Structures are given as C-alpha cells and as structure tokens.
Structure 1
Amino acid sequence: MKTYAETLDYLYGLAQTGIKMGLDPTRRLLDRLGNPQLKIPTLHIGGTNGKGSTAAFAESILRTAGHRTGLYTSPHLLDYRERIQIGGIPIAPDSVVDLATRVREVAEALEISASFFEVGTAMAFLHFAEQGTGVNIIEVGLGGRLDATNLCRARVSIITSVSRDHTQYLGNELRKIAWEKASIIKEGGTVFAHLEDQGVIDEVEKYAREQSARLFRLGRDFQVEIKTHHPGGSTFDFTDSDHERYEGLEIGLPGLFQASNAALGVAACRELARSGIAVSESDIRKGLASARWPGRMEIIGSQPTLILDCAHNPAGVKSLTDSVRKWFPQRRIHVIFGVMNDKPVDEMLPRIAEWAEQIVLVRVRQDRSMDPETLRHRLAGMNIRVQVIENIGEALQTLIKMALPDDMICITGSIFTVAEAKKHIATHNTHIAGTTVLDNLPFGG
C-alpha cells in the first residue's frame, strides 16, 4: 500500500468481514510485533455510553499535566485518523500507511485473518510504543472481555455505564452485559464505575472481588454535584474517595450526563497520579475546561439552533431527551433521524416522539442503515409528523429553509448520521440565518 486512500480501502475492506469475537488472533499478532501494548501505562475505558467523552476528559487532563498521551477511540466521526492520536493530534496519513502495511504483513505471515478492529488496535499500540507515549488512554470497541483492546495491561480502568447495546453479540440480559464489560478489570487493579442497576452493581462488584481489584463507584465512593448546567457546558463540585474536594470544576461539553463522565476521568487521573503519573488540581481544572468531543450534544448553529448528537441506543436517546427538555422546553424541535438496522428503534422512537414537532427519516450511507420506510411504519400511531427524505443533506436543507429562527433541528440516531450531516455542512458551506456552522468541524471539515 502506497497511499492513504489505498490503505483506507484495505482497512474498510476488512470491515466487510464483520465483527469477530475472540482474543487469540490479536494476541498472536501483538506477540509477533513485540507486545507493544504492555510497554506503556494505560487507562482502559469501557461501558455502553460515554466512553469517548470520558476518554477525552482524561486525555485532556493528562496532556495538560505535561504527559505525552496516546489516545485510541472508535468509531471515528469524519476521518480514520481521529482514532489514533498523540498529544491531541491525529496520526499522520503516512503513518497510517506504514503501520497498516506492517501489521498486514505480519498477519499474513501468521496466516491470521485479522478484522478491521484488530488491525486498527495493533496499529495504535505499535504507534504509541514506537513514538514513546508516557500514558495511553484506550477505549474499548465492543463489550470488553473479548475486545482486542483487552490485551493491554491497564492497572486503572473505567466503566462509564452499562445498558443494552450490541445485543446480538453481548446478549440482552443486563447482568451478562455487565460481566462482559467488567472483564476489563485486571487482577489487583483499580476500577472507577458509574453503575445504577442493582443487578449490574452486583455483577461488577463480584468480578472486582474475584480479581482482588478495588472498585470505586460514582455516588457511593466519590461524588459529583452539578452546580450549573446549560447548553455550553456545566459546573460541578467533585469529592474523591479520600475526601479531597474540588469546587467549581468547569466543562465545555454539553449534556447533563457529561459531569458524571468528567468525574470518572478526574478520579482515574488522580489514581494514576498516585502511581507516579503526576497530575495537579490545576491540571484537572484546565484539562476539563479544554476537553472537546465533537458530535455529542454539539451545538453548531443558531436561528435555528442546530444540534448534532450521536445517540444510537435507548440510553443515549434518554440522555439526549433529558438535555433537550431541560434546555429547550419551549422550542419547536425538528429531528433528522437515521439509524442502523440492529438498533432497538421501538425503544428509541417513542421517546423522541414525546418532544419532537416532526421527525424526518433518512437513509445513512451504510450497508447496515435501516430503511426509512421501515422506520415510518414503526412510528405509526405516534403523535408526531413524519416525513421521509432519504438524503441527509437534502433533509437538512429542507428543514433549514422551513424552520423559524427560534426552532431547533436535532440530527441523531447514529454517529454515521452525524458524520454525513457534518460533511454536507462543510462541503456546501451551509449557513443558518447568516451564521456559518463550520467552526467545530475537525480537520477543517
């Protein structure tokens, strides 16, 4: 492979083979590469929702503290390079080409049919080891127990939340899902978790005991108290398990749930500090305030207000609903909704129908995209105006033209839906009432 485009073709070609559960192929691959995943202190982040935001908070804190950070997240929003970052800067295209080529050669020599995610994970670990990062923040791809990232040696881990998603792989029982996600906890390690369901709590606590690991739960062992919240972010007080208290911490990520994600990041960074990865209160304050994570309750326009949110499961839609109802109670809201065909839309659509004036159903440019007409039938009988406009760009332009200045347009249902909307906005130089909405697009759109 000689070019970035050729490399992406190779990687996305691997994605067509689907998701493979199991660690043996990745273990063999990493072993031949010198086990780069074992060389650098690591914070491992799992959970159903909030992993990316929590990783962004932790990375920003650690980078602010002067550490050379490696960040591996998935999926990406606009560009594959977002997945692998050092010091907050996405990997260079030439490095993607080089790493993918080398990992591919090793996989072929071992006769391993590596998946898209397995190759990407090996690339990230190898890149971080060769570039000498001081601490890595690694986000789980799916589940935890059999996820390729679970071969890292993380003494500190986070479980952001546990709810139903990817049930075709993880099952529909919350206790089983909790066990899968708890499996990132390492023997003798420390885990910080935000758990609400009692069955989930029991399962994670049991797993932590079996691993002789310390479990700290948000709400029991460390606390977050939201003082103010608005569409531009939140202010909260944080009290750690040792009773250390930070008042008036500020975050710029919108969403009522983000203070909890930030608190998990703070608690984990303080634990890393106890093991020699220095972090001060000032680093925590500055790192939280500067953290960014596009596509999550992201407001990028006004008159009408335009919000992008990657909610793709019932828990994500609930978080979106709570924030929208709190901040925009009197607004007329139009929703552009595109979703993958493996999602429980019968649990997602009724909640959206409670607060939306109308919903425009679109087809995402993904093989797994659910047919908009199927979605229309699922909305039958709900008290909401429904329209099908298959193209996301056309749907956005239509709503912008008909919306009143005080209206709100919310684009949601999938990260792929949000990505397509962002690309349309960038390439068409979309304006809303004279206000350009390009400011927050990474890579200049």
Structure 2
Amino acid sequence: MKKTVILVLVFLLSVNFVKADYKLGYKLYKQGKIKQALQEFQVDAEKYSYWYFPSYMAAMCYYQLKDYKAALEMLRMAENAAMKSDKKVVELPKVKILEAKVLAASGKCKEAIKLCSKYIPQSPAEFQAMFYFIKGKCENKLKNHSKAVVDLKNSTGINPKNPSAWFELGLAYIHNRNLDGAIKSLTKSMQLYPKSKATYYLLTDTLINKARRVRDANSKKKYYLQAVDVANKGLKYFPGDKKLQLNLANAYLGAKQYSTAINLFSQLYKKYPNDTQVVFGLGSAYMGNKDYKNALPYLLKVKGKMNNALIYNFIATAQLAIGKNENNLSKCKIALKTVNDGLRKFPGNRNLLKKKKEAQEIIARFEKNLEIEKKNKQIEQENKRKLANRIMTLKGRIRKAEEIKRKSGRYPASYESDKAELEKALKTYEKLYGKFRQ
C-alpha cells in the first residue's frame, strides 16, 4: 500500500515538473525570446520524449529562426510521440500543419501541397481549414492561382475568421483578374484584422486599379472614394506611411478632387522630392487642375525616369496649352518636338499620334494667322503712309492758299474744304496711330 502511494506521488510530481518546464519555455516564446525558449524546449524534448509538445515547440522555434532543417528534425520526434498518443487525432494534424509551413517556407511548395492533400481528409474540420490555407498559399506561390482560389475558398468556408486566408484568396483573385472577388476578400481580411499594412496596400491598389478599368464615371468615382476610405483607415494605424499616403493622393486624383490631391502630393514632395511616383503624381494633379505652368516642371523632372508614352503626352499637352495661352508659336513647336521624341521611342502610340495631329493643326493655324497678321500689318503701314502723305499734301495746299491770300487778299475756292479735310485726316491719324509728327 505504501509503495503504491509513493509511486502515485512520484508520478504526480513528474507531471508537475513537466508543466513547470513547459510553462517556462512557452513564457519565453511568447515574450519573443525564441533562442532561450528553444533551449528550454530542447531539454524538455529529451526528458519527455513521450509527449509531442516540447519537440513541437522546439520545431516552432527553429521555424521562427528560419532553421528549417532543424525544425523538420524536431517534427520527426514530435510525430513519433503524437503517433503513440491517445490524442493522436488532434496532435498529429498540429505537427503536420507546422511541417507543411516549414516546407513552404523553405521553398518546397510541391511537397507541402502533397502533405496537405494527404492529411485534409483524415483531419478534424478545424485543422482542415489550415491545411487548405497552406495548400492555397503554396498554389499561389507556384502561380496556380485557379487552384489557389478553390483551396482558399474551402479554407474560408470552414473557418471564416482567418484574415490571412482571406488575404491570400484576394491575392489569388487578383492574379485571376477577378478584382471584384479580390476587393470582397481583402475587405473581409481588413475587417478581421485591421492592423495589417499589406492588406491596406493591396486593397487600395486593387480599388484604384478597378476604378481605372471601369468606364462609367459614377462607378469610377465610387471605387476611388472607397480607396480613399481604406487608405484613411490604414493611416489611423500607420500614420505617415508613405505608400498609404501615396495611394490616398492617387485616389483623390482619380476622383478628380484635384486641390486635395495637389495638397497631399505637395506634402509628400517635401519628404520625397526625388520619388518618381510622387513627382509625377504632383504634376498630374496640376494637369487635372489645368494649371499647366505649375505642372510642366514636375513632368520634365521625371521625363528621363519614366519609360512610357504617357509622360511625353502629358508634357506635350502642357507645353501646347502654355503656347496657346501665350500665343507663342515657338512653344507650340517645342510641344510638337516632344511628341515626335515620344513617337521615336513609342512608334504608333495612338495618344501621341493624336497629340501630334492636334499640335500640327494648332501650329498651322498659328502660321496662317501670322501670315494674315503680316499682310494686315503691311496694309496698315501702307494706309498710314498714304494718310500721312495726304496730310502733308493738304498742309502744303493750305500754306500755298495763305500765300495767295497775302498777295491777292483772297483765299482760293478750295481753302475751306482743304482745312476741313486736314482736320478730319489729323483726327483719323491720331485715333489710329497717335499724334501726327511731321
């Protein structure tokens, strides 16, 4: 009897020691002291080889430290313990889920997929969701996005509260060009876990891309304003984040709220004056506001950094508008040169060809108007000369008439009419050309 009691006490004490060891390692792990936790779990794994948990947690530590080979070795030990356990149905799936994660992280996605496929049918539902998630994530990495959609829908169907699964599903939908599906999935991920930068980045990018693709003006504005809302939510958690600020500015730009966009891009420009997206965004916002003079310096600044036809089109548009407003043919010709430079790089580009035609038409009108103006000026000069000659002739006749009066006492018959005509001619001259100077 005494011997039995002693054995029971020894067993209870050993259990308590196991719990104490486990709690110390787990506490260190939760505190982020992974290497210290690993040391504790390695000792526990040797002492309590019949229990899967110490080996499992040691593998988890190696996984966090990116020592995948060591993690797989510890998982073999954990698997052996789990296979002998009366809780095998729960413990083994946990081990295999971590193994699948390790395989995926080490680039062995095909092996991870194979492992998940094997254990999905024989695992309880709560573990099936995680196997489907890992499998779908691996399919995404292997660019099998249609398969990823199926797996991730299965995962979210079983466990709709996993934000990572919704995020991966959104990513798969994006690669499958299903932006509506992506927006719904990423929104769900954001709602479940509103502290993920990656989700805010991808969701705002997707909303902006969706807005750019739809034709209906109201739908465009709706998606841009949704992007504004999401970016603002993200900035509450990550104030000052460059990517979110940039997406917010671009969303306002797309929604045609140009003054707000200019303000946001200007703030970004102070911090990142050499960032191509920021500089181009600020120039584009000024373009939207039809402030071409302010837009042009920013567009020219990024011309050499942007290898696309759009920058040439924007610069030419600004130069042409400035030339037209200033009635300056030279500046319009500079715009045409910009278009031609763009066409040499991007031959056949529709927008540049359209802009070239517009520039040529404006230049042709300018040159025609200048020719007309030149002819009109010549005619005006000739009329001025003729009027001046007439004034001089009339003055000469009046002087002669006054000499005749001094000699004969009488003015010639034409004297009064000449005086009246001279007065009228002088008034006309002064009105058209200023005061007559002999």
| Same fold? TM cut 0.5 | no
Give me the TM-score of the superposition, normalised by structure 2. 0.23
Query: Quick check: which one's strand share is greater?
Result: 1
Q: Which has the larger radius of gyration?
A: 2
Query: Quick check: which one's helix share is greater?
Result: 2
Q: Greater RCO between the two (CA within 8 Å, min separation 6)? A: 1
